[in-house]
Every structure is written in structure tokens, then in C-alpha cells.
Chain A
């Protein structure tokens, strides 16, 4: 499914660039009549509009030391899952995505341990981090959070919780903290595609969004018996 014929798009790109530089007009005014959009597949055109017709401010620096261009470039997992247009991965695709995800998981040194649930709570509540553009998150002011409440219920006393993911209320109480459970939960936060191929849940570890320590703290919030999640 992921046959996007990149070289062809690249050829269009150079053509467009040399033509676009000719006039002082804005890109928006000139791009369509220089390159034949109708000769491209929808996938090629989307890539062309994003990367070559200056659809985004691509050169802007990101918090991880890269550029917006790099943020927008898809890795193999993102490309494979996008092509499903929201459907669940099945069969070979599912196997392939799960294997890809598993390969990308790194574990903390020693055993997987729970960190500080109070820190974890702050992180689970925070939606801060990695936003760039008209307002850019300054990571030197505040550390990035885990966005867990965007999609999950956790502390039963919190009413502003999202529902894209299942409720995690009482998660630790129900599941315990045996080694296999710690490993599963760690992997879910690090790279959930290892268990749910093409899930909507982000790869917080594999994408460098959260550190090993932050993951340990969030795991404590979700699993520790003292945490309000399990009261």
C-alpha cells in the first residue's frame, strides 16, 4: 500500500521550484498553473503541496533540534497506517506494524520500575510540549507532558477527560503490578503499535516525546495503589 513513487514527486519538485522562483508573486498565486496537478496521484499531490508548493513553514526549528519538514516526513509506520484511512490494521499489515513497533522499543537499564506518581500526575494532565508555529512551546520553561487526559479517564474525580481511548480508572487496582503488567504498560506508552497496530495512541517513547524517567512516573500514576487513579 505504501507505494508513493517518491522519485517522480521529486522530479516535479525541482521543476516547480525553478519556475516559482521566477516571479515575485506569492506561491499561492502561481503554483497551480506551473505544474499539472491532475497528472499526479492524490498521494503525490498531497506530498507535493506540503513539501514543494510551500504548504507549510518547513524550515522552522523544532524543539528536538530538527525542522518542521522533518516532522512532516512520514516514517514507515505512519505511512502504512495512513493508507488504511482510519481502519484497523489486519492480517499481514498488522503483523508487519507490530513487528516494526516492537523493534523500535528500548527498555530502561535494569528492571522496569514505577517512578513518582505525583510527578506522573502532573505529566498525565499536561498537554504542553512540541507545539510549533504561531506559538512555540519553550521546553526550557516547562517540560513536555503526556496528554493522557486528552484521551483517557484516569482519576475518577477529574471530569474533563477525553474518550478516544478506554477509561484507565482503577487500572493498577484491576491489573496489579506484576512484571508482565509493568512490561505491557511500559510498551503501551513507549510504542502502543506493538500491541494495537495502527492505534490512535501516540508513540510517546519511540517518538522521543517522553523520557524513560517520565514514563516511569506516569506508570506510577496509572498503577501505584496510592495514586488517586486506583483509589
Chain B
């Protein structure tokens, strides 16, 4: 199926170039691989997690997501096989590792969550406030099931978000500015906590944005958060960090959130994605 999609989308092929998108590898093996490559307290802080990864509860959530993906749903009674995640309708293998990206039909750069919302509302005909679309958090939400399934199909693929479209580049660059943008009651920017290796906030070891082998784990969402006992998304993590920074609530799916996610994915470029992941 994926080779056929490649064939009918020569444009996508040329965009990806020869960077070597990779192929599927189980998340626990990908993590083991990066651990062997670099010495990192962040990567090894939860050995327990590494051992538990084969039984990651997020795997079940992804399984449920697969069923939802293939099911005919919504007022239009169609499956999500008609949704293009950048590699042609219904193609999910390696698609998430190349997001956010520009989508011609929407005229904008979208991350996985925004793209799903787009397809569920335009293709399947769900209204924007239908719980299927509106509920974004927790393992039992359709959104987290679908995201987990689609993302799991990019495990082992190298992060390679396209930057060919001027908007993709503009969003990445704005996200770069946002990453270093200090504001709020504590003068924090993302760089305050994610600009050095091996530093801790309280007992948590922080990933360094400038070390791609650490950063690939940091941006590998969805992940099962052991502390929350729920599967969480990139958008949920962004919201949490701004809350800690005392800078109010970022709007999920806003271009601001997509710009930041464009930058953080770009920072992990070339490293294999760990999906679904497990985090503290």
C-alpha cells in the first residue's frame, strides 16, 4: 500500500529527498539504540520504564485507535482511510515523522492533532464540538486513540518534517523565536530548562533541545505518562510547560502551538522516533 502511495505522489517523494526516512522499529528497540549512542541521564533516568515499554499501555490505546481509524464514522459514514497525512490518503507508515507539514487542501501547516481534527470535521462530517473531536486528553478519548495509532506507525522512522514550503519554514522559525522567548512572572523561556544536558528541575532530568538523541525522546508523543496513568499528546505537553512557566494557556491547534511543535520536531531531525513512548 505504501509503495503505491509513493508512486502516485511523486511530489512527496521529491520533498523527502534522500534523507532516508527509515523503517519501522519497535519503540523499546529505538530507545535502546539511542541509549547506546549517547551518554544521557535523561534517557536512562527511568530504567523501569525501559523494562516496562514492551507492555506500554499506550500500545493498547493505539490498537483501539486502529479500529477507530478503519471504522466508518460520523455523519458522512466514512473511515479515515480517505485522510491524507502527507503521504497520500490513508497512508500512515512514516507519515507522523514528517509532520507538521503544509497541507494544500487546508492552506496551512498542521500538526497531527490539527490534521485529525481537519479530517474528522471535513471528511467524516463531525461537528467541531462533537466529543469525538472535542475531547483531546486521556487514553479513552478518540483523539488520543487515533493519534497513538497513527504515530505508532512512525516508530523507528527518522524525524524529517519538510521545510520546502515557505510556510513550513516560517512556522519553524517562529517556533524557534518562541522557544527562546522569555516572559511572565518567572522570566522563563523553554531554553531556561531545555538548553543544557543533564540538568534537573527538582528530581526530573531535563532533555536538551540541542542534543537530538535526547530530544527525539522528548518530542516522542503520544506517550503514556506513568505519573498521570494516561496517554498524552504533544499539545498536552506544550500546555503543561507554559503553565509551569506562568504564561497562561496556549490554545491547542493554534498556529502558535503548531509553530512551536514545528520547531521542536525540526530539532530532533535525523533521529528515530520512539512511538508510542512512555514517560514519567
Contacts and interface: CB of A to CB of B under 8 A. Distances in A.
A9 interface: no
Interface string B73-106: 0000000000000000000000000000000001
A38 B172 CA distance: 11
A160 B195 CA distance: 20
A195 interface: no
Interface stretch (A54-62, A104-112, A169-177, A218-226): A54-62
B203 A159 contact: yes
Interface string A122-138: 00000000111111000
B49 interface: no
B249 A85 contact: no
A86 B195 CA distance: 7
A200 B188 CA distance: 7
Interface string B136-180: 000000000000000000000000000000110111011111101
A214 to B, nearest CB: 14
* Size bracket of the B interface: 35 or more
B108 interface: yes
Contact of B178 (A26, A50, A53, A62): A50
Contacts of A31: 108, 255
Contact of B249 (A60, A86, A149, A151): A60
B129 to A, nearest CB: 10
A82 B181 contact: yes
Interface in A50-95: 50, 53-58, 60, 62, 64, 68, 71-74, 77-78, 81-83, 85-86
Contacts of A13: none
B259 interface: yes
Interface stretch (B25-33, B51-59, B61-69, B238-246): B238-246
Interface string B249-276: 1110111110100000000000000000
B109 interface: yes
Contact of B201 (A29, A71, A150): A150
A208 B244 CA distance: 17
B176 A42 contact: yes
A45 B174 contact: yes
Given A32-B108, A162-B201, A134 B243 contact: yes
Given A45-B170, A161-B202, A164-B192, A33 B239 contact: no
Given A71-B246, A159-B203, A164-B192, A26 B182 contact: no
Given A45-B174, A46-B178, A162 B200 contact: yes
A40 B185 CA distance: 28
A149 B181 CA distance: 24
Contacts of B203: 159-161
Nearest to A69: B248
A134 B186 CA distance: 18
Contacts of A53: 254-256
A149 B204 CA distance: 12
B246 A149 contact: no
A12 interface: no
B166 A209 contact: no
29 contacts: A28-B114, A28-B253, A28-B254, A31-B108, A38-B166, A38-B169, A40-B170, A42-B177, A46-B175, A46-B177, A53-B255, A55-B256, A56-B242, A71-B246, A71-B247, A72-B248, A74-B183, A78-B182, A78-B187, A82-B182, A82-B189, A85-B180, A86-B180, A131-B244, A133-B249, A162-B202, A163-B200, A202-B188, A207-B185
Given A33-B108, A134-B243, 10 more contacts: A32-B109, A38-B170, A42-B170, A49-B178, A53-B256, A71-B248, A82-B180, A85-B191, A130-B185, A208-B185
Interface of A: 26-29, 31-33, 37-38, 40, 42-43, 45-46, 49-50, 53-58, 60, 62, 64, 68, 71-74, 77-78, 81-83, 85-86, 130-135, 147, 149-151, 159-164, 200, 202-203, 207-209
Interface of B: 106-109, 114, 117-118, 128, 166-167, 169-171, 173-178, 180-189, 191-193, 195-196, 198-203, 239, 242-244, 246-251, 253-257, 259
